[in-house]
């Protein structure tokens, strides 16, 4: 009997430990990008990506702009980069939209270049069935937009 109680307690403690660890896993709060021309970047993220501006919680003179990039995530643009380097598409941020075709139409209307991973102006389908495109912001940061329903 004592052996069974000890085993049961071990299972319960292990389960509680795993639950606590899962609850403590980090989640995305914000992403900060260092940009060369903050006005150009703000315009891109507001008009092209359709992110909504947020009030600056710090209320200081730093050249910083905050945007809502998801239900519980933000994008911080920080002014002051000296140049705009080339960037590899493998380093990118990904955002999901409900209707990728409608978003592509929006990009076409804004005259924004986009395409698949190889640079062709068409979407591609991942092995899991999610459709995606890639585009770049004014500082050459790569952005994936997909129709993932997770």
pTM value? 0.81
3-state secondary structure of 82: coil
User: Can you give the pLDDT at residue 61?
Assistant: 66
User: Can you give the pLDDT at residue 14?
Assistant: 52
Quick: pLDDT tens for 79-120. Answer: 999 999 999 999 999 999 999 999 999 999 999 999 999 999
The mean predicted confidence, pLDDT, of the chain is 88
76 has a pLDDT exceeding 50: yes
CA 26 to chain centre: 15
Q: What gap in Å lies between CA 65 and CA 11, rounded to an integer?
A: 49
């Amino acid at each position: 009997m004592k052996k069974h109680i000890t085993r049961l307690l071990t299972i319960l403690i292990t389960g509680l430990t795993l639950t606590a660890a899962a609850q403590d896993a980090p989640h995305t709060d914000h992403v900060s990008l260092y940009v060369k021309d903050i006005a150009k970047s703000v315009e891109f993220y507001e008009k092209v990506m359709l992110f909504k501006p947020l009030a600056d919680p710090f209320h200081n003179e730093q050249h910083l702009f905050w945007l809502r990039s998801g239900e519980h995530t933000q994008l911080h643009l920080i002014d002051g980069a000296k140049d705009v380097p080339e960037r590899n598409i493998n380093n990118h941020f990904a955002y999901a939209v409900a209707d990728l075709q409608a978003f592509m139409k929006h990009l076409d209307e804004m005259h924004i270049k986009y395409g698949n991973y190889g640079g062709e102006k068409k979407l591609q389908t991942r092995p899991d069935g999610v459709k995606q495109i890639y585009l770049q912001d004014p500082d050459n940061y790569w952005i994936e937009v997909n129709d993932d329903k997770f």
